[in-house]
Structure 1
Amino acid sequence: MECHKNEPDNVVVIPVFYKVEPSQVRKQTGSYATAFAKHMKKDKDKIQKWKDVLSQAADLSGFPSTAYRSESVMIEEIARVVLGKLNHKHKNEITNNFILDENYRSIESLVKIDSAEVQVIGLWGMGGIGKTTLAAAIFQKFSIQYEGSCFFENVTDESKRHGINYVCNKLLSKLLREDLDIDTLKVIPSMVMTRLKRMKAFIVLDDVHTSELLQNLIGVRHCWLGAGSTVIVTTRDNHVLKKGGIHKIHQVKEMNSKNSLQLFSLNAFDKVLPKEGYMDLSKRAIDYAKGNPLALKVLGSFLCSKNQLEWNCALAKLKEIPNAEIDRILRWSYNELDEKEKNIFLDIACFLRGHERNRITKILNECGFFADIGIRHLLDKALIRVDSKNCIQMHDLIQEMGKQIVREESLKTPGHRSRLCDLKEVCDVLKYDRGTETVEAIILDATEDTHINLSPKAFAKMLNLRLLAFRDHKAVRPVNLPQGLDLLPENLRYFLWDGYPCKSLPPTFCPEMLVELFLRYSQVEKLWDGVLTLPNLEILDVKYSQKLIECPNVSGSPNLKEVDFSGCVSLLEVDSSIFLLQKLENLSLRKCTSLKILSSNTCSPALLNFDATNCINLQEFSVSFASVDRLCLSLPKFGTNELPSSILHFKNLWFFDCPISESLVNLPENFAMCIWLVSESLLKVERDTSITLSKILPSPAFLTVKMLIIDHVSILSEIPDNISLLSSLEFLSLNGIAIRSLPESIKYLPQLESLDVYNCNKLQSIPALSQFIPYFTVCKCESLEKVLSSTNEPSDKPKCGFILLNCIKLDPRSYQTVLKDAIAGIELGARLNSENEDPFLEQDDDIIEYFLPAMSGMENWSRYRSTQVSVTLEFPSNLLGFAYYLVLSQGHIGYDVGFGCECYLDNSSCERIHITSLTKGNFSNMLNSYDGPSIYLMMNHLVLWYDPASCEKIMEAVEEIKAISDVNNTSYNPKLTFRFFIDESLYSEVMIVECGFHWIYPFEGSAVPKRNDGFDSDDKEEAVLLTNKLEQCVVGTQSNLEVIIVDSGFHWMHPFNFESDDDEEDIVPLEYEDFEFDDEEDIVPLEYEDFDFGDEEDTVHLEYEDFEFDDEEDTVHLEYEDFEFDDSEDIR
């Protein structure tokens, strides 16, 4: 038993209870009590040890002789079990390391071997995504540490073929290692239940389709399983897991591009990289598979040994006909849907992918598909997903599967299919009037070569058409009606026709179930006559219909939420019915240059956005917003240069956007939470607006504003000093203005949390501001050269982030200043967080982050550098945490890209545990001023961050394993592995070219030092030098780097002033200042240079060498020893 305790993975104990009950052994009753009573007189300590060991042995799963009809049967069973365990203990290594990806590590972190609870882990995802492979890899690693184990594949298929009793008997037989034949699950023999409950088992149930099946196999609330057991369930349906009471759930994600290439290449070329000449073809295949392991393996095997011509042909064929084996696997989930859910799925696959979820739900509900519950079911089955913008997306292979299902409705006659989305087929059906009543949806994405002339009765046969979209992204007006249009189907729920060529809609058109109507860039002059009853219409969008003269009467559409007339330059007036809509949320009249009057005594109480910018001829604006609570109002510059009197009574607007003007001084107190000042590009501006801005800043509306945005006011040469008067200002954004510097008075804004400076190409210098503003972003200010340090000025605001993006002219000295401030800010934040002095850092998601140009200087902070991918270091004690950094290469980077560091801890059993995965916030949160899906990094950039939640989890895990080692009397020196990564992004091409991290240690003493704390030279206990351990890795251009910490050094954590009693000697901040001795001065960067005294020189690397002066030598380890000069001074 002692051997088993010391080596539980290598020593197995199987008790045999021969002619004695386990309870007698456990409680030492009967003959055991008599025997112990006799021996108790001799050695009490030894007897007590025997009793403890016997109790432990009796708790193990074993063999009571009373359960067997003869000794021979029991011996045979013991031999079989022992043989099984010996075979079971043979551990196979996972040969393909790419299986050990982010999915594997996340699942691995959910397995808690030492837990006393029964843990059930659910894996779900689309077909072929690798659920079974991942479960097998986890089973292979951990099952040897359990008494019993079973990997049960294809549970649902087995249940359908042979029945649930067969499946249950098979599972129990594997676990208990004997042939069982239980007639019914309702009555399981008590002996079987007892053995199960005493066994710590590892079970994988693969491909479970129903929660009832799950409960039949492991019991309601897992009541059949012994303490510490682990069950992994794989399924395509997340609802199975949730209904089964499983809380540890992981959705298996697609493989990244690097691992996809390896898996594909292994199947296509029998090696991890494509052979010469096949890389581009391989990338085409990988792009088709989109990270689905099944597709990668099937395609790789299919293309193996084929020449390049055959590869090209096969890949082209896949665009029209999906691979049969992949399609068969994917269809399993589709086949389990009911008819309504199948219709929802096919509409999304062929038509609505990428649309906002709420809009899709409304449209499909109007089709009678009960979309609220149907979409939820599709999500649970991993057939669709919802992205960060609440839009519904799906995997490309699943979309192709849906389109293939529709093609199979009528292979040779597209006009008899329910949905048409292929460009050639749509053109053929419309051009030759081949549509039928079967057609329910048509979508045409035009190209430059698309030109179709339709007859007036093109839609006459398509009476059941629900969804119609002619999208024209190229402005080629692909669909024309040379003879006009007689009718449109009345059943339309969604109608989009870019470049609609008629002057109005057909007079008989009255689609009462229509939800969304888009006639953008059309030729309409009016939409309809009189009132058209469209009770379900929610969106009306006719933007840039330049011939539209008459605004429609929309009183028959009471549910309208969004109306867009942007760019309708011929529109003369807005119908009064628009303002009477009670549910209207967004109204855009932007660039309606013919509008002269906007007047209404009422307005929708639901209105959120009213945009009338660039309505340059607007002379009167008298719309009442009295009933509106949170309004974003955007107005043009009025010809009289005075604001309309009607808006001077507004209060508590959410957002107000207008050109900069002296008339803004008349706005009342608490006018708007956010004011956006712009330049009116259509008007001539004659003078620098700095004077105007200085006049309006002290006015009531600005004194109470919380957000101020100054956007592309190109003739604004400076920000006035009196901006410091804005005592309520929390956010300030300066974009595209002509300033050369920022006023130092900004630091006196007491509530300012965030300052953004974008595209200010004349900006040359920034004063000492960064420490006074928690979030400070400077982007694409290409003339910026100088940034002053602010660490020497006290600030009680927590530092959370500083971004310097594409500031390509920043001089090296300023870069060193910024880097020094960044390091000081991170270290101070860590110490404040440890003392709970900073409430801002008490939340788990608060990360201190810096994004800076990457220049030389990190070597001052990181003592050790290596070109090796992996190196090793033990985890030090007495840490506050650590900061991470990586360097990104030049190139495009997508807004949705994530980057960060994953941490793994090697425990005392040499098993690697995935503790936490730290993912940096994406660029859409950090840099929201750029246009397009990506930004271009004009040089390498450094990302430096501190994550208190990550640090806390890692250090807690280390302490937990240390505590276990102490209990077991085993030595344990924790080792950490850090893996830096960039998440895949469609628009990203940057790589990690460097990475590292930095230990942060506490001060020895009770108080947390503040900036500029000075210490007297006698305060030796407070002025202990702090150590730093760091490793850096440089490995060319990779998207994922792995670093294992290997070595240690030290780093002066903060510049403190040490003043001695001697007036002739001044000892200064060791990292940044100079040493003075007598009349001679030698300036020494302590980490790199030499000390000179008199005529003798001694070169000292401070970590390893000695100081020599005259004939005396004093050896100093800077962290622990002393400096001696003459006989009178001893400075620590």
Structure 2
Amino acid sequence: MGSNAAGAESSSSSPINWIYDVFLSFRGEDTRSNFTSHLHMFLRHKGVNVFIDDRIERGEQISEALLKTIQCSLISIVIFSENYASSTWCLDELVEIIECKKSKGQKVLPIFYKVDPSDVRKQNGCYGEGLAKHEANFMEKIPIWRNALTTAANLAGWDLGTIRNEADLIQVIVKEVSSTLNVTTPSDKPLLVGIDSKIESLYWPTEEMYKSECVDMLGIYGIRGIGNTTLAKALYYKMASQFECCCFLSNVREASKQLNGLAQLQKKLLFQILKYDLEDVDDLDRRNNIIKHRLHSKKVLILLDDVDEMKQLKALAGGHDWFGQGSKIIVTTRDKHLLDSHGFGQTYEVEGLWEHNAFELFCWHAFKKSHPSSNYLDLSERATRHCKGHPLALVVLASFLCGRDQAEWSGLLDGFENSLRKGIKDVLQLSFDGLEDEVKKFFLDISCLLVGETVTYVKKMLSEFHSILDFKISNLRHLSLIRMEEYDDDRVQMHDLIKQMGHKIVYDECGDEPGKRSRSGWRRTFWRCLVTIQEAMQ
């Protein structure tokens, strides 16, 4: 949860990153269709990003992907049930969860579902029987599993035997998770440097608005890359626990351009809030009426990210009468006029980071700590000044300089200062210019045709034209020129400004003769093999 983070704990500590808010560990045959599914639904309604493994367990070996998912989760909820210990899969999950608690500070919340906590702690009853079944094949693991069970059972959690009502227990758990996320989200993510002061300046004058029972709309606007989305998401997660249902729709501008884009966004809106699958309805007015009918009595929190057309607002937040009392709608855009035209009561312009915040953000990406060593201090201050408080430029430039020696820093900064290029886009261009030729071509291929596709798909499409794909992907990630949305099928994403830079480079290669541009030659081959690859991947 969250994205652009608050100050670091210390100059020597490393950033703590997570992809999922909550990882659910449970025995499918015991609780998948009842308690676990209900808990999952209520957490999602609160805007919590939950990982639940919907696959039926097969085999005895837990996958590396699942272990990585545990490592990238902020909280693990372990649901101890009658047959939990009979699954080596569950026991291996638990070992990894306890290890993450020790090494990463992961919060672990045990739930004792129709089992005695003492049986889990001491491995008596069904837990002793479950472990006994594994002794023949996994003797070396038994002590490790026992230790994990004892450690987990000694943690503060909940016993269904004392609470009795499952619905009440779920509400208590959801409240605890929401409280944990509200505390940790703004303060533990180093990427959120400087966000606290912005939230205060935004939240404080409008706090009464958020407490009121009126339906209110807040518009956040600013230039690209300045942090509109980051601020909106931080505010969204700060407020989420106060609402019955929550929904975050990202990249509305891009999504609406796809085939039936607005209809798909409307379906996603209703499904996130109500788990209601909006039927395929061609008529926009009818879809609008369905949304209004379904949501008019619900107190909801909705974040619409990167809106650029009035029709998007009308389709997703048509009016105050669409939502129940106390609902709040947050919208990010680059166009303040759009907010004014739709009657937003509150608007907020996002400006660049203050100097000390910009310096800290730069250092986190250049040195993996909040402050440089003394011999890099002046160089870091010079580099930070060029970015003019622009978060994207700070991240990209710092990533580019990371690991280079002082002479390289000095030479690169001297060259930049002596050139006529001094804008934010030119800072991004500097990072591109430093790439090897083959990596440059790889970057341009992605920026022009493959942004938003899965890593697997990108590799299949480019394997005919490029070698050592993993190295090139890793290189671009290290330089912050691409990012991987691991919670969204490992999709390759790129900031708009960086993608636009790629398009401009290709265009400038041969502006008057499009057919001679570098991407044009293989675009035809690209589309010829597209159908073949799609069929092979089905």
Bigger radius of gyration? 1
Q: TM-score, length-normalised on structure 1? A: 0.22
- More strand by percentage: 1
Give the TM-score normalised by structure 2. 0.45
Greater helix content: 2
